[in-house]
Amino acid sequence: MVTDQFGIAGLLTFIRAANENDHNLIALAPGIDLTTLGLNLNSPENLYSTFQSPWVDLPCRPQDIDYHVPTEYLTNIFLRDKLAPIKLNRYGEDVLFFLFYMNGNDFIQLAAAAELYTRDWRYHKEERVWITRAPGVEPTHKSAMYERGMYYFFDVQNWRRVPKEFHLEYDKLEERPTLPNTMHHNASQQ
């Protein structure tokens, strides 16, 4: 038995103190049945607009939360067409990989993936890595379905290109990313 304030003895002490002082504190110690607060836990609707889940992989992004924003902060509509387009073809591969891995579920991730694709990098769906042929090295075996040769794999953990002999099946490669129309406009200005 845990004998400090976080164990059973601590819980009993808390409940006794709550009985003497404030009866509302009793609910805090053992927990509360959420249905008594009027929450319908069987509802398909969200319980609260900013709460995703206790087990969600990604935190709730600010742009996904419904809240009032003063009009003086809504500048996107005025600046959108005045800003110069981002020209990803000017950046090195390290920057593109950074943009891809650090901006998940964002337009810039798609744009970085499209630029990597233009530079002959391909995303392998099963290995979940970016790969490209080693420059100047032809595949040792090539068919309509696969090829075997020397490739560079981008190692995210060590942030470097790792050479590796590999059997590459074409159907396991991701297709070229589809960019939204607004990004096609910006890409054509590059």
36 plus 95 within the same structural domain: no
181 plus 96 within the same structural domain: yes
Q: CA 183, CA 86: separation in Å to the nearest integer?
A: 10
Q: Is 176 within 8 Å of 157 (Cβ atoms)? A: no
Q: For the chain, list the strands marked E by DSSP.
A: 122-124, 129-133, 141-142, 146-155, 160-169
17 plus 97 within the same structural domain: no
Q: Evaluate whether residue 56 is within a structural domain.
A: no
What's the structural domain count of the chain? 2
Q: Evaluate whether residue 66 is within a structural domain.
A: no
93 plus 180 within the same structural domain: yes
Amino acid, res. 105: N
Q: How far is CA 87 from the centre of its chain?
A: 23
Task: Name the pLDDT band for 181 (thresholds 50, 70, 90).
Answer: confident
pLDDT at 185 over 90: no
Q: Evaluate whether residue 99 is within a structural domain.
A: yes
Q: Evaluate whether residue 27 is within a structural domain.
A: yes
Q: Evaluate whether residue 64 is within a structural domain.
A: no
Between 138 and 182, where is the model more confident?
138
| pLDDT tens profile 5-57 | 677 777 777 777 766 666 666 555 566 676 776 777 787 877 666 556 666 66
Structure token pair of residue 181: 């129309």
Helices 107-118 and 181-188 cross at an angle (nearest 10°) of 50
107 plus 162 within the same structural domain: yes
Q: CA 38, CA 48: separation in Å to the nearest integer?
A: 13
Sign of CA dihedral 65, 71, 73, 79: positive
| 129-150: average pLDDT | 96
Mean pLDDT, the chain, rounded, equals 83
| CATH number reported for the structural domain that contains residue 127 in this entry | 2.30.30.1020
Which pLDDT score, from 0 to 100, does residue 145 have?
97
Which pLDDT score, from 0 to 100, does residue 188 have?
44
Which pLDDT score, from 0 to 100, does residue 85 have?
83
In terms of Cβ atoms closer than 10 Å to its own Cβ (0-12, 13-18, 19+), residue 51 is exposed
| pLDDT tens profile 148-177 | 999 999 999 999 999 999 999 999 999 999
Q: Evaluate whether residue 13 is within a structural domain.
A: yes
| 105-125: average pLDDT | 95
Q: Evaluate whether residue 82 is within a structural domain.
A: no
Domain with 141 in it: 88-188
| 91-107: average pLDDT | 94
25 plus 101 within the same structural domain: no
Which pLDDT score, from 0 to 100, does residue 76 have?
82
Which pLDDT score, from 0 to 100, does residue 35 have?
74
Q: Evaluate whether residue 94 is within a structural domain.
A: yes
Which pLDDT score, from 0 to 100, does residue 18 have?
67
Which pLDDT score, from 0 to 100, does residue 190 have?
47
Whole-model pTM: value is 0.60
183 plus 97 within the same structural domain: yes
